[in-house]
A and B are shown apart, each in its own frame.
Chain A
Amino acid sequence: MIEAVILRGRSRVRSVRQRALGLALVMLAALAAAPDSHAQTPVNGFGAMQPSVGHFTVHSMVNYRQFDGDETTQERDIRQVSIATQVSYALLSNLAVTLDVPVLFNHLSRSAVATGDSATGIGDMSLLVKWRPWQNDTGPTDTMRLVLVGGIQMPGGTETYWDSTGEEWNPLFGAIFSMVRGRHGVNADVIYELNTGGHSRPDGFRYDASYLYRLSPAEYGAESSGAAIYAVAELNGLYETNGNHQLFLAPGVMYEATWWTVDATVMIPLAQDLKDRPETEIAFGVGLRLSF
């Protein structure tokens, strides 16, 4: 009898956690499903670049997050490690597709109901089509590009512990702008996610802005075109139609060689107003990108 009550309690906790943290994972998946290419693209945000025709880019990023400050009655503290992998493939010189598959490892370190619970699963996946209707390459390294994005966010599967959208397939659409001027790179994007799960789930409006500064080389030359190091500063925001809002400052660094890139970033919360899930205390990630 007691065991049955405990099991039912755990089941309810898990169910509530799935619903409440589902929205957080929408944001996580969106934040993870970021760049797929090159040229001073940000670490967390999107860039209006893509591989060349017939080529792949694979970007895997390991993220660690601490969730705290849960204002709900569950008072949850959660530690999460995620491995987000994005694979991009260029169909045309101005058209590419990107598949994002995040794998999540969650640990409930403390809550009002239970502690020490852990779960692993595939988070919500997304498939994006990036079409570049406009570009203006004004110099050897200078470019301005506008990309329109459309796609779908897919449920990670029935066995997923942290399933954010249930069985719904939510459309995504937005725009990305990138500009490179010498050592300076600027990117901005707005992505809207339309939740089809009914009124209980809000729509999500993601916005990012980033600035990248090429630390080295100061000037590209015949012998210095093989690698570069960038300092990265990003603003990553998410607003939801239920009033939730999160904004992060994400400084980072990126080393780029001819066919691989390593990047690292820390996400520092600037503003968080969440009513139904724990806040992100801090997050950081390290990524590797391969082009082939």
Chain B
Amino acid sequence: MFNVSLSSLRTAQDVIRLVIRPLAWAREFSFMPSFIRSSPLSIPLSISRALCVGALALTTACESTPRASDASVDPARAAVAASENPPAAASAPATDGRTALIWVNGMGCPLCANNVDSQLKKVPGVEDVKINLGTGIVNVRLSSSGPSTQAQLEQAIDRTGFTLVRIQMPTDSKSAGGGA
């Protein structure tokens, strides 16, 4: 992220880029709520972004300062709407061959998400779990050697007490529904 060579500092583009990158990184890194982490950074970040836009109007330099939530970082996340409560059966984001998507309703808080996370990680073959409370979509990264079955994932969601809406397995484009 900070791999900026001295030669690249010759231009104003790279100087501004050097400023804006750690600010954007810091804003995304913090585990604190958004208003806490954005408050001390929002002003310099806004200024930096404005400078970036102004100074680089003729270039596309600003496009090279991605945020963690940008589509270039995670296409699966970017494909889902950022609204608070989109339709539960929203169109499925594209995934790779090892990620299962689970739509879950009723996860109203970070602790709820932790319940889902901990139950899914007990399932053999689950390598990683990422949860978006805004969309209710749970990204489950499966092992390539011994991936979990859909039934195992359904059972794990059932144990959380939340409502399973839909599961899309990586090798199966068809979705299967069921209430937990």
Judge whether B88 and A140 touch: CB under 8 Å: yes
Most buried by A among B34, B68, B86, B106: B106
Across the interface, B134 reaches (CB within 8 A) one of A40, A135, A221, A226, namely A221
What is the chain A residue whose CB lies nearest that of B74? A222
Judge whether A220 and B114 touch: CB under 8 Å: no
Contact of A261 with B84 at beta-carbon distance under 8 Å, contacts A55-B118, A221-B132, A222-B77 already known: no
B-contact bits for A231-271, CB 8 A (1 contact / 0 none): 00000000000000000000000001111010000000000
What is the chain B residue whose CB lies nearest that of A57? B111
Interface with B: A117-125, A160-168, A211-219, A274-282, which one?
A211-219
Judge whether B109 and A39 touch: CB under 8 Å: yes
Across the interface, B85 reaches (CB within 8 A) one of A141, A226, A291, namely A141
Judge whether B136 and A261 touch: CB under 8 Å: no
Give chain A's interface residue range (CB within 8 Å of chain B): 35 or more
Contact of A220 with B84 at beta-carbon distance under 8 Å, contacts A37-B111, A137-B163, A259-B111 already known: yes
Residues from chain B with a CB closer than 8 A to the CB of A227 are: 31-33, 110
The distance from the CB of A154 to the nearest CB of chain B, in whole angstroms, is 28
Judge whether B85 and A182 touch: CB under 8 Å: yes
Across the interface, A217 reaches (CB within 8 A) one of B34, B74, B85, B159, namely B34
Judge whether B159 and A52 touch: CB under 8 Å: yes
The distance from the CB of B86 to the nearest CB of chain A, in whole angstroms, is 7
Contact of A140 with B34 at beta-carbon distance under 8 Å, contacts A93-B180, A257-B110, A291-B111 already known: no
A54 close to B (CB within 8 Å): yes
Contact of A94 with B118 at beta-carbon distance under 8 Å, contacts A140-B134, A141-B133 already known: no
Residues from chain B with a CB closer than 8 A to the CB of A218 are: 34
Chain A stretch 97-146: residues in CB contact (< 8 A) with chain B:
132, 135, 137-143
Judge whether B33 and A140 touch: CB under 8 Å: no
Give the number of chain B interface residues (Cβ < 8 Å).
49
Judge whether A93 and B88 touch: CB under 8 Å: no
The distance from the CB of B7 to the nearest CB of chain A, in whole angstroms, is 33
Residues from chain B with a CB closer than 8 A to the CB of A258 are: 110-111, 113-114, 117
Residues from chain A with a CB closer than 8 A to the CB of B77 are: 222
Contact of A219 with B110 at beta-carbon distance under 8 Å, contacts A141-B84, A142-B85 already known: no
Judge whether B159 and A40 touch: CB under 8 Å: no
Residues from chain B with a CB closer than 8 A to the CB of A50 are: 161
Judge whether A221 and B88 touch: CB under 8 Å: no
What is the chain A residue whose CB lies nearest that of B161? A93
Judge whether A93 and B107 touch: CB under 8 Å: no
Residues from chain A with a CB closer than 8 A to the CB of B19 are: none
Residues from chain A with a CB closer than 8 A to the CB of B108 are: 38-40, 141-143, 180, 185
Across the interface, B28 reaches (CB within 8 A) one of A139, A223, A257, namely A223
Q: How far is the CA of A223 from the CA of B117 in the complex (A)?
A: 15
Q: How far is the CA of A223 from the CA of B68 in the complex (A)?
A: 8
Across the interface, B133 reaches (CB within 8 A) one of A49, A216, A225, A291, namely A225
Judge whether A257 and B105 touch: CB under 8 Å: no
Q: How far is the CA of A143 from the CA of B85 in the complex (A)?
A: 12
Q: How far is the CA of A276 from the CA of B130 in the complex (A)?
A: 55
Residues from chain A with a CB closer than 8 A to the CB of B88 are: 139-140
Across the interface, B111 reaches (CB within 8 A) one of A90, A138, A180, A261, namely A261
B145 close to A (CB within 8 Å): no
Judge whether B112 and A38 touch: CB under 8 Å: yes
Q: How far is the CA of A37 from the CA of B163 in the complex (A)?
A: 17
Residues from chain B with a CB closer than 8 A to the CB of A53 are: 119, 159-161
Contact of A138 with B83 at beta-carbon distance under 8 Å, contacts A225-B131, A258-B110, A291-B111 already known: no
Judge whether B114 and A259 touch: CB under 8 Å: yes
A224 close to B (CB within 8 Å): yes
B95 close to A (CB within 8 Å): no
The distance from the CB of A188 to the nearest CB of chain B, in whole angstroms, is 16
A-B pairs, 5 with minimum CB distance: A140-B136, A137-B106, A38-B111, A220-B133, A216-B33
Interface set of B (CB-CB < 8 Å, partner A): 28, 31-36, 68-69, 74, 77, 80, 82-86, 88, 104-119, 130-137, 158-163, 180
Known A-B contacts: A227-B31, A258-B114, A291-B114. Give 8 more (CB < 8 A).
A39-B112, A52-B159, A53-B159, A135-B106, A142-B106, A182-B85, A225-B110, A225-B113
